[in-house]
Structures are given as C-alpha cells and as structure tokens.
Amino acid sequence: MNAAKNILAAGQAVTACGDLPDGRSAKQESAFPQGEAHQPALELVGIPGFNRGEDVNSALQQGAGLDWYEKGDVWAKFACHRQPGTQVLSGEQQRRKMYRLLATDPMWLADNGPLSPVRQWVHAYASAGKDLAELAHHGRLDRGLRAVLAHHVLFAWNRLGLPYQDQKTLSELAREVVFTDPMTTDQTTTATSDAGSTDDEARRRRNGLVDQLREQGRISDDRVEQAVRETPRHLFVPNTPLTEAYTNDAVYTKHDDTGAISAASQPGIVTMMLEQLHVTEGRQVLEIGAGTGYNAALLAHLAGPDGHVTTIDVDDDLVTDARTHLANAEVDNVEVILGDGALGHPDGAPYDRVIATVGAAGLPEAWRNQTAHSGRLVVPVRIAGSVARSIAFERCGDHWTSVDSQLCGFMPLRAGVADDPRRILEITEDASVQLYAHCEQDIDARALAGVLDTPAQEVWTGVEFVKAEPLDPVWLWLACALPNSLSRMPVHPNAIDSGLVSPMLGWGSMATVDGSSLAYLTMRVDQGRHEIGAIGHGPAGTSLAETMAHEIATWSQYRSRSLGFAFHSRGTAPEPGPGQHVITRPSGSFTVTWQA
C-alpha cells in the first residue's frame, strides 16, 4: 500500500498543462510550482526517476484518443482483474490527488516537466496507444479498444512490480473519481433523477459516440448517422449506465453456462452492417436475431413510416424485452416474432432486405428464398474455423455473390435447424490458454493436455506486414487451406508473462491442431515491419508449423488481390482454381476467391 500512497502523493507535485474536465486549469490547480522535488514512487521498483506508472499509462490512453469517461472505463475494466486491496483510498484528499493525476497531460510533463528524463518511454506509450486505436479502426482487435488498453496497463504495472492489491486500489479509485466523484461528474445528471436531465445527458453522450464513429470511419452514410443520433440506445439496455450504453462496446445481456449468448452489438459493427444492408425508405426488412430490439429500431428509422421491419428471436424472454424496449422508444413499425431464425418468417416474404445479427456457418435456404429477387442479404458468416466476415450478398443468376465484406464476430445461431455450436476448450490446467472448436473441426482437449509444455519449434516465413495492415486475410486463407482449419486461441496475460506462449497479438493468436500437436501464429518486429511465423508443439508440432508457414507464403502471392465471396446451392459449386477455395456446408458451398 505504500507504493499506492506514494503514487498519489506524487500527484501533488505535478504542474500540468490544459483544462480539467470541469473547465478548471490544471496548472492553476497544482499544489506545487513547476520542477519542485517530488516522490519518485517507481524508484521503489527499480526504475530511477520514473515517477509514476499511471503517467505512462495515461499517455497510452491519450494516444488512443480516449475521452475522460472512456479513460474511466479502462480503469473499471482493469479493476475487474484484481482482487480488492486491504485498504481503501477513498477520502476526499485521496480523490483530489487521483483527480489531478488523471487530468495531467503526460506529454507536456515529458517535454517540459519532471518526466523529461523518461521522455522516450512516455512517447513510446503514446505511440502504442495511437497504433492500437488504428488497429481497432481497421478491425484488427478482437476485443474492444478499451479492453485491450486495460490489459496493456496490466502488463505495464506487473512488469513495474506494483503489488496486485495496490493496483486494485488505484484502479478502483480512478474509476470512482471519473464516474461518481462530484468534481468530475455533471451535477445535472448525478444530483437529480429528473427525466429531462437524463434525456439531455443521453443525447449528449449519443452524439459524442456518433462523432467518434464518424471520425473513425465507422459511419459514412448520412442516413445511418441520423438513425443512430435519433435512436436512444440506453432504452434498449435499461440496466446499463449511460457511460456504457454510449461507448463503442458490446453490452452483454444474457448468459448461460457456456458464457454470453446475447448482446447489444458494438455500435461500430452495427453501423458497418447497416451500411452494407443499404436500407432505403419504404423497404420491407427481415432481421434474424432480435436481441434487445435496438438494431430493429435503427432499421425501422431507415425504412421510414412506409417501411416495415420483422425481427425474430428464439428466446421468449428476449422477444418480450425487445417488444418492451421498442414500445418505450415509441417505435411502431417493427413486429417481434418468437421462432427459429433459421426458418425466417415466410408470412411476410418477400423482403427487400434480410439481415442476420447472429453468426451463421451458411446461408439457410429460408433466408435466400425469402429475399426478394432484387434484394440484398447481409450475414455474419463463419467461413471456416474461427474466421468470420460480415458479407453483403446479392443474386447473380443461379448463385449469390458478395458486394461487400468486413471482418466481424457474432454470437452463433443456436437451438434451431441451422445452429452452429462451438466449444471452448481449456488446453492448460489453469485455463490460461483456451481454444475454440467448431462443429467441422476434429479437436480433442484430452489429447492436447500438456502440449504447451513440450519444446517449442519456431518456423519463420519471410512474409511481412506493415503497421495497421489487416491480418484477417491471411487468417482466412489458413482457415480455408489447413486440413483442420484455424481456431481462435485466447490467452491470459499470465501465460504470456511466464513465457508459456508467444502469441502474435495481446489477446492471443490463431492456431491449428493435428491430434496431440498444436501450432499457432506468432510475430516478430524489426524496424516497424512485422514478420509472421508459426510455433509448433507436440509430436507433429514442427511439421504443423511448417505447413502453416508454407500456406502463408502461398497466400502472399495473392495478397494484393481483392477478396470476393460467392455462395452456391448444394452440388453446383465450381472446382477451385488458383487463389480460390471452396468450403462446403450443409446448406451449400462458399467460394472464397482472391480475384485478379
């Protein structure tokens, strides 16, 4: 706890530049003049002159472009990973100290103040935050940006040696200061329950979210922008604070013993799919997966008073909730149906637009038959293994072709004729490394027991990526080309810190399995370029890694080509040519083509 108190005490010696969230000047608020001696808290853990761990982490968040409340959400996510400390720093004095620390501009301190001896560290963290935000923008983060940032803070504080209890105490205090402290919270929303004030606050946050999505390129269509600005998302997630309802993250609303099974999707994914669907006024729309009803409300706004939306879900409680939410939002051109989404709703067919907001491993015949001849069908398709894309299809003669595709991930269809079950396997005793197994894959968790304890065999490819270049095209190739496809392999930070695994990304990697052997993707960095490789474990680990490397090299020959998809009814798919794969599903076959 001494380290935690020293970190807070150091905040009194900070002279910052810029304005605090409530408009006060940070420089005016500083208790000491610039340059006055202060307690270098992290000298306690062996980094002389490096005075506060959260200064560099603030640089990380600032580099990522987070606003005040988004930073608070990072600290809230961080706190969930730490057990409560034995003491609580929640007095008025401690809150004010934390307030100063959170409001400090670390870049100014690095260039002009007491962090100048470690200026390169601070700028490196800021650059990393900017890179992560760019990766998020291009869809290369499999979790939300703030969740990834929270784990980077975990890594940093662990490596600096800050005790876990102190980490918990500081992160909880930071969360409290941002979200509940009267110094930083708008009095009109915390001191009153007046509905008008709440609506004003919700509108402000909603507009802020839309502005963010616009800046990140997640919204380009003016009509989609208007729909999101005018549809109150918080009414569809009523048990969620406004701060969470209006962030670019999914809100999980239902769980079973396997984990989350329903959610209000990430707004950036929602807007991407709405733009793929291209709903104009007067359209008849079918949505597969009602969820909270929020997506249906957006569709209803786009279809206008002369259009109509039918949305269907398999769970009666979700259907009831969606109806309630839509009524509360005064949306009256949506019908919510209880049923198996894979069967669609033939009574209202044909539909000008059909969209699935649940993942599917194929294009069920009902969806195709219920789409008007000149209509469009948008589906988050799990192409192979754990690799999925949201694809907009239109009819082309006797088959369907893509007009757009984007990286995505969704809850799978379940409890119906086209359900797509998956298992999440633990391949270490402490569950620090897991593996997704899908219905077409042959993966036995028992056979993989202890596989990561066998020697690691590295194979490098010579194939390089530049910063912010998407990785999902090579994942897609591997998922189609490898005999047992490609699986998502989530990894706990402890498994990375201990050296058990060296995944290509902070959340983990993508892997393939052959009996009792496993190989996964890795990355090494040299002067801003990233070379992709594979690490194999087990009796066939080397050959498995070599197979991955060979396929990566083959993919690299086609990487400059555009990517196209087609869907053919059973028995009508063409033979695959160069740069092309055919994936067979019960409902038909997907053709994946790197087109010249």
DSSP state of 85: P
pLDDT digit string, tens, across residues 301-314: 999 999 999 999 99
pLDDT in tens, 359-391: 888 899 999 999 999 999 999 999 999 999 999
Instruction: Report residue 8 as tokens.
Output: 């807070």
Helix, strand or coil, per DSSP, at residue 399? strand
Across 133-142, 242-251, 327-336, 342-351, least confident range: 133-142
Mean pLDDT of the chain: 81
Catalytic choice (30, 58, 171, 265): 265
Write out the two tokens for 221: 């269509």
Task: State which H helix or E strand residue 435 sits in.
Answer: strand 434-438
What's this model's pTM, rounded to 2 decimal places?
0.68
Joined together, the tokens standing for residue 295 give: 């997506």
Closest by Cα among 508, 513, 501 to 539: 513
Per-residue pLDDT, averaged over 126-149, amounts to 77
Assess whether pLDDT exceeds 70 at residue 405: yes
Residue 94 has pLDDT above 60, yes or no: yes
Note whether 182 and 107 are within 8 A (CB). Answer: no
Contacts of 124 by beta carbon, 8 Å cutoff, 6+ apart: none
Q: In 138-181, which ranges are continuous DSSP H helix? A: 145-160, 164-179
Tell me the backbone φ, ψ of residue 282, rounded to 5 degrees.
90, 0
Q: Can you give the C-alpha Rg of the chain in angstroms?
A: 25
Q: What is the pLDDT of residues 201-215, one digit of tens each?
A: 899 999 999 999 998
Question: Closest by alpha carbon to 388, among 365, 366, 412, 370?
Answer: 412
> What CA–CA distance (Å, rounded) separates 291 from 326?
11
Element of type H or E holding 212? helix 195-215
499: tokens are 């050296």
What is the structure's pLDDT at 409?
Answer: 67
Determine which of 389-398, 453-462, 463-472, 554-563 has the lowest per-residue pLDDT on average. 463-472
Rounded Cα distance, 177 and 171, in Å: 10
Is 61 or 196 the better-scoring residue by pLDDT? 61
Which amino acid is residue 70, in one-letter code? E
Is residue 21 within 8 Å of residue 117, measured between CB atoms?
A: no
Q: How far apart are CA 87 and CA 106, in angstroms?
A: 28
User: How sure is the predictor about 177, in pLDDT bands with cuts at 50, 70 and 90?
Assistant: confident
DSSP bridge partners of 54: none
The β-bridge relationship of strands 580-585 and 588-595 is: antiparallel
Q: Cα 207 to the chain's mean position, in Å?
A: 21
Q: Tokens for 272?
A: 């991407």
* pLDDT above 90: percentage of residues in the chain: 52
Annotated active-site residue 265? The verdict is: yes
Separation of CA 40 from chain center: 36
Alpha-carbon torsion angle 235, 241, 247, 251, nearest 10:
-70
Is the distance from CB of 392 to CB of 125 less than 8 angstroms? no
Cα distances (angstroms) measured from residue 306 to each of 254, 265, 281, 302, 326 = 33, 26, 7, 10, 18
User: Could you report the per-residue pLDDT of 276-302, keeping only the tens digit for each?
Assistant: 999 999 999 999 999 999 999 999 999
pLDDT above 90 for 591: yes
Q: Of 21-35, 165-179, 341-355, 482-496, which gets the smallest average pLDDT?
A: 21-35
Element (H, E) at 542: helix 541-556
For the segment 348-366, the average pLDDT, to the nearest whole number, is 94
Query: What whole-number percentage of the chain has pLDDT above 70?
Result: 77
What residue type is assigned to position 484 of the chain? Answer: N
> What is the reported pLDDT for 196?
58
Confidence band of 251 (pLDDT split at 50, 70, 90): confident
Tell me how far apart the terminal alpha carbons of the chain are, to the nearest angstrom: 61
Contacts of 194 (CB under 8 A, 6+ apart): none
> With contact defined as beta carbons under 8 Å apart, do 449 and 427 qualify?
yes
Q: What fold characterizes domain 203-407?
A: Rossmann fold (3.40.50)
C-alpha distances out from residue 259 to 122, 256, 399, 454, Å: 38, 5, 36, 30
Contact 587/418 with Cβ under 8 angstroms?
Answer: yes
State the pLDDT at residue 356.
95
